[in-house]
Amino acid sequence: MIYLGADHRGFELKEKFKRWLGELGYKHEDMGAFEYNRDDDYPDFAKAVAEKVASEASAKGILICGSGIGVAIAANKIKGMRAGTAANAEQVRASVNDEDLNVLALSADYTSEEQAKEITKTFLETKFSGVERHVRRVNKIKELEK
């Protein structure tokens, strides 16, 4: 399952992603915003997505705000989250492969729709390598959550 969330700055791109993910056959759930509201707050949607991803082992999340940074910071406050931004497909491939990235944070203001789709498709298709050094490092990250 893929959980989607966006504030007002990412709302339009999230709505497009819902259609696009459906066309690709991905099962997804919208965690808000459910309507455009220029006064909404990105931490609310980051929390909703992160809690869902944390509760399901194979779930992934996609969060969108203006910079992508705010939603990543907020999501990473939830235990079990490894949220990050990516500027290109190679970076997100490395992040999933090495750090087991489970929430992708996208910038609506600094990423084109096509770039965001390419980054997202790579995020969804890439698997964690499971290589011992990467497992060790992810476990050290988990230790920081205690």
Q: Measured between alpha carbons, how far is 85 from 111 in angstroms, rounded to an integer?
A: 11
**Active site positions, annotated:** 65
Are 101 and 95 spatial neighbours (Cβ–Cβ below 8 Å)?
yes
Residues 6+ apart with CB under 8 A from 114: none
Considering just the CA atoms, what is the radius of gyration of the chain in Å? 14
